[in-house]
A and B are shown apart, each in its own frame.
Chain A
Amino acid sequence: MTAPILEATRIVAGYEPGLPIVRGASIAAKAGEITAILGPNGAGKSTLIKAIAGLVLVSSGKITLADADITETPAHQHIRQGLAFVPQTENVFAGMSVEENLKIAVHILPKAARADRLEKTFALFPDLARQRQLLAGRLSGGQRQMLAAARALVVEPRVLMLDEPSAGLSPKFVASVFAKLVEIRQIGVAIVLVEQNVRAALAIADRAYVLVEGENRHEGTARDLANDPNVAALYFGAHTERAA
């Protein structure tokens, strides 16, 4: 058993002081694994990874990355420590070309390493390599998600966190985005995935956490959770609620 590379312990976080949305949730993620964070609407999943990314105020709890405490680190320093985050929407610079999107991100690396990393990333995303000069705003929805992931991966992070990469995509694109995540896992990156699409997420995840009202409700291997009737009840319950 390897130790987790990213650990968030008893996190309390929210947008306004005194109104926490995440209330003591904890997660851990290991290198070479996909960790899914699931739960009904309003469970605090997105707020939790935004808090880990440094974008939401953390009022208590501790976040460590490879044993270094990053709870107080400003957001723009996270990527330098190897923690990359892909927001759910507006996750590319639409007014800049595909290449410029990556150039901005790769700049934190030493000068000698940049060109090489850029080409390696394009090799991983051949679709993007064909459209280097295209404005990111002109990409299709699926390709935007790819560019957003590429922007995060170009600096070889140790942890890649994605907020609902499947949102707004057609099933075909969801499949290709998730297939790409499986490919990225093989490089040894720890992937943390927040998803509404429970079935698709459990299909590729190794471990998963189910959050309800800002707290951990269930956790375990993806296979166990996929077969857990309680999780299914939450999942279908959420769907019935949404349909109503």
Chain B
Amino acid sequence: MNLQFVADGLAMGAMIGLGAIGLTLTYSILRFANFVHGEFIAWGAYTGLVVANGLIVLSPKSGSFGPFSFGWALLIGLFAAMLCGVALALLVDKFAFKQLRMQSNTIVLVIASFGLSLALRSLLEFFVTSQPAYYSRDIQMAVPLGLGVRVTPDQLLVLALAAGLLVVVHVILTRTHAGRAMRAFSENPLLAEVAGIDGAAVVRMTWALGGALAAASGVMLGITVQIRPTMGFDMLLPLFAAAILGGIGSVPGAVMGGLIIGLAEAGGVQLFGGSYRAAVAFLILIAVLLVRPNGLFGRRP
């Protein structure tokens, strides 16, 4: 086997990691497995598509950057997608989970989130049909990096963009009060209230951050793979596997978990073909739950 899977796996893993950050944060703060998270990815990707195409129609000459397949239009689209992710996450919380949290147990929340994710996907499919879409139909030339590894400029840029977002998230979580409040609340909600942190505000911030990152990873998936209404749903198993592998509540863990899942999937695809890609994440998930249920960086049982 050659090392190509490393490049593909890292690019995919970065996107899984971005999505898993939000999942691990909402999981540790709201304490339930949220199946809606995948839909933020898909809705984000389509928001990016609609905005970018709209801008290209308005200004056909905008063109693309150097070797990349896209230009300003998609960058603005990315920003719009993240806003859409924030809005969607806040709406979902306000109109569904906030009510249910007050009167129901975890299981009802999980089933409600499962149903809501199907509903959001159906709604998306209704608007955009189930046909795949692309930000750009240009075929990109892959550049050889040596050792038999070839990457497209888009893949490199996606990796860089993901790394940039990770730095931003790290700064938010460690250097700002909002970030510290989120960490504090996820560790010990009662003590956080006692220390003057408004739990409701933390919950909203967590949804917003998770929604924005998931939407961003959706746009990146759209750049490097393709855009389909089921893309978020298909990401659910990798996201859960990454979050649990990294340890629920751990942001570095989610990123590491994402990279590991991405590499394992790419390796699996190289060895066995693409048909069973989703099974790789599942096998890792089962293995982690059996061997180390708190994950690599998990805090407590």
Do A and B contact each other directly (Cβ–Cβ < 8 Å)?
Answer: yes
**A residues engaging B (CB < 8 A)?**
53-55, 74-80, 84-85, 87, 90-96, 100, 103-105, 107-108, 151, 155
| Minimal beta-carbon separation of A9 from chain B (angstroms) | 22
Give Cα A78–Cα B197 distance, bound, in whole angstroms: 10
B187 to A104, Cβ gap below 8 A?
no
The 30 listed contacts between A and B (C-beta, < 8 Å) are A53-B194, A55-B194, A74-B193, A75-B193, A76-B192, A76-B194, A76-B196, A76-B197, A76-B198, A76-B199, A77-B196, A79-B196, A80-B196, A84-B194, A87-B190, A90-B190, A90-B191, A91-B191, A92-B191, A93-B188, A94-B187, A96-B180, A96-B184, A104-B177, A104-B181, A105-B195, A107-B177, A107-B196, A108-B196, A155-B196
User: Which residues of A lie under 8 Å from residue B181 when comparing CB positions?
Assistant: 104, 107
B183 within 8 A of A: yes
B184 to A151, Cβ gap below 8 A?
no
Give Cα A94–Cα B193 distance, bound, in whole angstroms: 16
User: Which residues of B lie under 8 Å from residue A54 when comparing CB positions?
Assistant: 193
B191 to A103, Cβ gap below 8 A?
no
Give Cα A92–Cα B197 distance, bound, in whole angstroms: 14
A95 to B299, Cβ gap below 8 A?
yes
| Minimal beta-carbon separation of B180 from chain A (angstroms) | 5
| Minimal beta-carbon separation of A115 from chain B (angstroms) | 14
Give Cα A53–Cα B194 distance, bound, in whole angstroms: 8
Q: Which of B195-234 contact A (CB under 8 A)?
A: 195-199
5 closest A-B pairs (Cβ-Cβ)? A79-B196, A75-B193, A108-B196, A76-B193, A105-B195
B197 to A104, Cβ gap below 8 A?
yes
- In the complex formed, the residue of B with least CB distance to A151 is B195
With A96-B180, A103-B180, A104-B184 as known contacts, state yes or no: A85 contacts B196, CB within 8 Å: no
With A96-B183, A104-B180, A107-B177 as known contacts, state yes or no: A75 contacts B188, CB within 8 Å: no
User: Which residues of A lie under 8 Å from residue B195 when comparing CB positions?
Assistant: 76, 79, 104-105, 151
| Minimal beta-carbon separation of B64 from chain A (angstroms) | 44
Give Cα A85–Cα B192 distance, bound, in whole angstroms: 11
Q: Which of B183, B197, B199 is A95 in contact with, Cβ under 8 Å?
A: B183
- In the complex formed, the residue of B with least CB distance to A85 is B194
Q: Which of B31-61 contact A (CB under 8 A)?
A: none
- In the complex formed, the residue of B with least CB distance to A155 is B196
Most chain A beta-carbon contacts within 10 A, residue among B180, B181, B194, B299 = B194
Q: Which of B128-185 contact A (CB under 8 A)?
A: 177, 180-181, 183-184
Give Cα A74–Cα B192 distance, bound, in whole angstroms: 13
A93 to B187, Cβ gap below 8 A?
yes
Give Cα A87–Cα B195 distance, bound, in whole angstroms: 11
Give Cα A83–Cα B64 distance, bound, in whole angstroms: 59
- In the complex formed, the residue of A with least CB distance to B250 is A95
Give Cα A92–Cα B183 distance, bound, in whole angstroms: 12
**Given A76-B198, A87-B190, A100-B180, 13 other A-B contacts at CB below 8 A?**
A74-B198, A75-B194, A76-B193, A76-B194, A76-B196, A91-B191, A93-B184, A93-B188, A94-B187, A95-B299, A96-B184, A104-B197, A108-B196
Give Cα A80–Cα B194 distance, bound, in whole angstroms: 10
B183 to A87, Cβ gap below 8 A?
no
User: Which residues of A lie under 8 Å from residue B299 when comparing CB positions?
Assistant: 95
Most chain A beta-carbon contacts within 10 A, residue among B181, B196, B299 = B196
User: Which residues of A lie under 8 Å from residue B177 when comparing CB positions?
Assistant: 103-104, 107
Give Cα A222–Cα B188 distance, bound, in whole angstroms: 35
Give Cα A96–Cα B170 distance, bound, in whole angstroms: 14
B196 to A95, Cβ gap below 8 A?
no
User: Which residues of A lie under 8 Å from residue B183 when comparing CB positions?
Assistant: 93, 95-96
| Minimal beta-carbon separation of A170 from chain B (angstroms) | 24
Give Cα A84–Cα B191 distance, bound, in whole angstroms: 11
Give Cα A108–Cα B201 distance, bound, in whole angstroms: 14
A55 to B190, Cβ gap below 8 A?
yes
Give Cα A77–Cα B200 distance, bound, in whole angstroms: 13
Give Cα A96–Cα B195 distance, bound, in whole angstroms: 14
Give Cα A54–Cα B195 distance, bound, in whole angstroms: 12
